[in-house]
Structure 1
């Protein structure tokens, strides 16, 4: 075991810096906590399972603006309420631009 000796003032300075960093982290996360607490967010796999659609159909919904999403660290997330609203609206899953359903 290695023992390292440092001055008490240096140790106190390190402790104060760690406390300040912890406080900054708490303040930063406090702003975003209500956003995630009030709404459940789903990834693409959960949305596909919930709506019984393929990844490609989900991509079409995104491209056409039918299903809003948020991007975080190169990954898309969808609000459960938005997915539910699309399901309740009875959006045809394979509707082409001309309005006809592809079969």
Structure 2
């Protein structure tokens, strides 16, 4: 891309992060997220949605949620909360506490 004069943007990074997450390569996806910051490309809510879809532990999700809030300067979008509540709800009654936190 760069050789053709096309600099990566947030959508480019989101696509890479989503593909890495979908294939279970979470650690590499975190590396791309860090690389975004180094390249002065601010992640957006969709960037964090890529992670929320694949993370499997409530603590990981809450850490990423806090990171999102600090990064995008807001509380996310309605679909962020719906996604997280559905995810926690699918995990069963024992994990309903995170739903109430969200």
After TM superposition, the score normalised by the length of structure 2 is 0.26
- Between structures 1 and 2, the one with greater helix share: 2
More strand by share: 1
Q: Highest CA radius of gyration, 1 or 2?
A: 1
